[in-house]
């Protein structure tokens, strides 16, 4: 994959800059200077304009500028093409094996690239500049191409499991070899890189877990897998190993700072201790837990992990779980869940850090992105504070988390390149993307023989309707009375 040329020098001028640097400084009427995709300075306009005479300008006057947000767990394939289709009154097992898995068996490389571009485009328009795909990918090279075409920062892996009689399952040694092939195929210094992804749960042998951990150490990369979104993994591991999942994995020696666990909701005290003591990171996807009814309010301990110094990032999961790749929304959901329970509440500023600086650190990108500081990548989001959602302005953290103003994202910069300007993508044709996604969605559902449930009747515009005290309902034609030209009864 050929890296794009370095972007031209850029000045982002006049905004209120939420740096998310260690001192959490907010700088008003600030100019951010960008060269070769990196932030070189934050300061007054006159000085930086004189120092960068040929730089382009992006006027952020009247706007709030924040670091690009990090989505640490976002499935980029299949689900984006069938968004809001899987019924929400079935359990997670049926949703996965009755819907998602059959559809995954039908996708082509074209589908995966389209799906990734669609996810990236929507993410950018919501202020997300980094997306980590947790591995449900049949064609990782095409997914990487789809993300790169949109101009988002990403990590991509492929299916990794060795449970027998399942799609894409491989013997442990072959699964490790495929992981290495994927990582090496994506340049380590590129915008979209590879990482090691196992599906996790109880579908991976001890041999594959340890082989993946050894590979991550050898390649100097990170890894991720799913664990304990519900109680099922604990029950399975206790039967098989006599220990809960993270206790068992700690004994194997595979926990540690290179690992990002997706979910890790149903943990006991020993497992929480294992996460904290090994520096293992967790990607929390609160929207998915609520939609799928996975019991976060009973078992979730992510607020506790944050309060005790753990490494936690936010994720949005899939378009039929978290449904929208909106990290600001996820920040508000997690804070709300923890505040309602009351044991380990999250303030708005803490929740916003999970979306930016703390989230970037948790996924191993803290030295590159997540804050607006000299030397960091220029991953920037300009929110239009002239929108009524910002009127009148209040505490910035509260506005960002509880107001969830992702709809006010106006401009987005990734690695110094303006990828969204005036609420429009500069990298992809949004109209063509939508039309292609709609056509391919219909084709996939037909091929899988899946019928989309309709909760409400869908009527042609000309069908007669009447509204009474109980809402709208279709009426027989004989019950519709004619009216005068201004709607009065004759």
User: What is the predicted pLDDT for the residue at 464?
Assistant: 67
Shared domain for 1 and 139, answered yes or no, is no
Shared domain for 413 and 279, answered yes or no, is no
User: What is the predicted pLDDT for the residue at 104?
Assistant: 80
Shared domain for 179 and 283, answered yes or no, is yes
β strands within 157-195, DSSP E: 192-194
Q: Identify the DSSP state of 454.
A: -
Shared domain for 397 and 271, answered yes or no, is no
DSSP 3-state of 419: strand
Shared domain for 148 and 204, answered yes or no, is yes
Tell me if 434 is assigned to some domain: no
Q: What is the CATH number of the domain that holds 3?
A: 2.30.40.10
Total count of domains within the chain: 2
Residue-number span of the structural domain to which 173 is assigned = 69-363
Cα–Cα dist 303/350, whole Å = 10
Q: Is the pTM of this model over 0.95?
A: no
DSSP 3-state of 291: helix
Shared domain for 55 and 177, answered yes or no, is no
| pLDDT band per the 50, 70, 90 thresholds, residue 461 | confident
More confident residue, 320 or 18: 18
β strands within 36-125, DSSP E: 38-43, 56-59, 63-67, 69-71
* Model confidence at 342: pLDDT above 50: yes
Last residue of a domain, one of 338, 363, 388: 363
Model confidence pLDDT, tens digit, residues 20-29? 999 999 999 9
* Model confidence at 261: pLDDT above 60: yes
* Model confidence at 489: pLDDT above 50: no
Model confidence pLDDT, tens digit, residues 381-411? 999 999 999 999 889 999 999 997 999 999 9
Comparing 94-98, 105-109, 214-218, 437-441, the range with the smallest average pLDDT is: 94-98
* Model confidence at 96: pLDDT above 60: yes
Last residue of a domain, one of 363, 380, 400: 363
Tell me if 381 is assigned to some domain: yes
The answer to whether 34 and 378 have CB atoms below 8 angstroms apart is yes
Task: Give buried/exposed letters for 197-232 (b at 16+ CB in 10 A, else e).
Answer: bbbbbbbbeeebbbbbbebbeebebbbbbbbbbbee
User: What is the predicted pLDDT for the residue at 78?
Assistant: 86
Rounded to an integer, the average pLDDT of 235-254 is 98
- Cα torsion for 326, 332, 333, 338, to the nearest 10°? 150
More confident residue, 319 or 362: 362
User: What is the predicted pLDDT for the residue at 1?
Assistant: 54
* Model confidence at 472: pLDDT above 70: no
Last residue of a domain, one of 422, 439, 454: 422
| Burial classification of residue 106, based on how many CB atoms lie within 10 Å of its CB (0-12 exposed, 13-18 middle, 19 or more buried) | middle
User: What is the predicted pLDDT for the residue at 97?
Assistant: 77
Using left for φ > 0, alpha for ψ between -120 and 50, and beta otherwise, residue 303 falls in alpha
Cα–Cα dist 129/313, whole Å = 14
Rounded to an integer, the average pLDDT of 105-127 is 94
User: What is the predicted pLDDT for the residue at 477?
Assistant: 34
More confident residue, 187 or 37: 37
Mean pLDDT across the chain: 91
Cα–Cα dist 253/474, whole Å = 63
> Which H or E element spans position 223?
strand 223-227
Of 87-101, 208-222, 432-446, which has the strongest mean pLDDT?
208-222
DSSP 3-state of 289: helix
The answer to whether 339 and 345 have CB atoms below 8 angstroms apart is yes
Tell me if 219 is assigned to some domain: yes
């Amino acid at each position: 994959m050929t890296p794009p040329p370095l972007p031209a020098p850029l000045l982002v001028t006049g905004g209120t800059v939420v740096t998310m640097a260690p001192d959490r400084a907010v700088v008003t009427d600030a100019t951010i200077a960008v060269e070769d995709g990196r932030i070189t300075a934050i300061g007054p306009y006159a000085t930086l304009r004189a120092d960068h005479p040929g730089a382009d300008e992006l006027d952020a006057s009247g706007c709030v500028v924040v670091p690009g947000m990090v989505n640490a767990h976002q499935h980029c394939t299949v689900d984006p093409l069938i968004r809001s289709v899987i019924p929400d009154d079935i359990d997670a097992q049926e949703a996965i094996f009755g819907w998602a898995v059959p559809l995954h068996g039908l996708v082509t490389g074209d589908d995966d690239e389209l799906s990734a571009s669609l996810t990236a485009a929507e993410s950018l328009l919501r202020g997300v500049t980094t997306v980590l795909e947790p591995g449900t990918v049949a064609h990782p090279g095409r997914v990487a191409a789809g993300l790169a075409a949109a101009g988002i920062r990403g990590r991509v892996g492929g299916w990794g499991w060795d449970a027998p009689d399942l799609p894409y399952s491989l013997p442990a040694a072959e699964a490790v070899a495929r992981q290495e092939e994927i990582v090496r195929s994506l340049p380590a210094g590129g915008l979209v890189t590879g990482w090691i992804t196992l599906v996790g749960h109880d579908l991976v042998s001890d041999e594959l877990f340890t082989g993946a951990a050894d590979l991550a150490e050898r390649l100097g990369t990170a890894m991720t897998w799913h664990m304990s979104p519900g109680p099922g993994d604990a029950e399975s591991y206790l039967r098989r190993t006599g220990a809960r999942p993270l206790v068992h994995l700690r004994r194997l020696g595979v926990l540690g700072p290179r690992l990002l666990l997706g979910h890790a909701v149903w943990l006991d005290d020993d497992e929480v201790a294992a996460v904290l003591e090994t520096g293992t990171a967790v990607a929390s996807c609160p929207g998915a837990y609520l939609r799928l009814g996975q019991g976060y309010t009973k078992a979730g301990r992510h607020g506790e992990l944050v309060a005790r110094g753990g490494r936690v990032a936010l994720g949005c999961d899939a378009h039929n779980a978290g449904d929208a790749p909106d990290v600001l929304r996820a920040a508000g959901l997690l804070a709300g869940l923890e505040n309602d329970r009351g044991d380990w509440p999250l303030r708005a500023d803490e929740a916003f850090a999970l979306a930016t600086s703390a989230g970037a650190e948790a996924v191993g990108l803290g030295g590159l992105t997540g804050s607006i500081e000299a030397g960091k990548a220029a991953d920037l989001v300009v929110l239009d504070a002239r929108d009524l959602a910002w009127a009148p302005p209040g505490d910035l953290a509260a506005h960002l988390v509880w107001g969830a103003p992702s709809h006010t994202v106006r401009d987005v910069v990734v690695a110094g390149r303006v990828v969204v300007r005036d609420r429009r993508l500069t990298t992809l044709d949004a109209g063509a993307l939508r039309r292609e996604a709609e056509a391919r969605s219909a084709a996939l559902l037909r091929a899988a023989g899946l019928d989309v449930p309709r909760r409400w009747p869908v009527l042609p515009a000309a069908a007669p309707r009447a509204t009474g005290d109980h809402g709208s309902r279709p009426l027989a034609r004989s019950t519709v009375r004619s009216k005068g030209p201004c709607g009065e009864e004759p």
